[in-house]
Amino acid sequence: MRQFGWVLMAAMVAGCALVPQQPSTGEPPVIDEIESKARGPEAAAPPPDARTAEQFDTTTAEDRAEVLKAAAAPAQSNALGTTVASLGDPSDPGFWLKTPLVTTEQPGRVEYAAAGTKVAVTLIPIDGPVTGGSRLSLPAMRLLEAPLTGLPEVTVFTR
């Protein structure tokens, strides 16, 4: 059964690599410096031959430390609610959550109670009802210690 999980994860990651990238508008997001690092503007796109989670996750140890530090820093935040998160496009670098819980791109934080972890992310709006699911970046799922092939329930906060 464990081998099936690895095969399923590999198939999901490989299939996600085939999703075309949306063109950039060229306008930088309006967020503070720490949160812009959370999005990963310096994070490189994965190589075209990437096949494993490690190959798709192009964040550095410094990037990961920065978003963990930002998530732990005391800041005023508002809980937006909980959402079921699936793995987002692994070829889209950085720390983000695409969710119907927001209507504008903004800095935020995601907490995964099952592992007791949290990470700073950029919240990106997607169409759908607020009860709809969300998509979480590969680096964020890995830092949250959430199962890549699962559907973890996370709590979402604005910063």
- Average pLDDT of the chain is 79
Q: What is the pLDDT of residue 63?
A: 84
Structural tokens at position 90: 């692994």
Label residue 155 by pLDDT band (50, 70, 90).
very high
Those residues whose C-beta lies under 8 Å from the C-beta of residue 103, and which sit 6 or more positions away, are 125
* Residue that wins the pLDDT comparison between 118 and 17: 118
Label residue 70 by pLDDT band (50, 70, 90).
confident
pLDDT, mean of residues 59-77: 81
pLDDT in tens, 22-57: 444 444 443 344 334 444 446 778 888 888 888 888
* Residue that wins the pLDDT comparison between 73 and 42: 73
Q: What is the pLDDT of residue 119?
A: 95
Nearest to 134 by CA among 79, 81, 77, 87: 87
pLDDT, mean of residues 7-31: 45
Q: What is the pLDDT of residue 66?
A: 86
Label residue 9 by pLDDT band (50, 70, 90).
low
Give, in order, the Cα–Cα distances in Å from 105 to each of 54, 82, 122, 126, 148: 27, 18, 7, 10, 24
* Residue that wins the pLDDT comparison between 31 and 75: 75
Determine contact, residues 74/149, Cβ cutoff 8 Å. Answer: no
Domains, the chain, ordered by start = 2-18+32-158 (2.40.40.10)
Determine contact, residues 16/98, Cβ cutoff 8 Å. Answer: no
Helix, strand, coil shares of the chain as percentages rounded to 5? 30, 25, 45
Q: What is the pLDDT of residue 94?
A: 92
112 bridge partner residues: 117
Determine contact, residues 57/141, Cβ cutoff 8 Å. Answer: no
Those residues whose C-beta lies under 8 Å from the C-beta of residue 25, and which sit 6 or more positions away, are none
Q: What's the start-to-end Cα distance of the chain, in Å?
A: 40
Going 122 to 124 to 46 to 141, the CA torsion angle's sign is positive
**pLDDT at 131 > cutoff 70:** yes
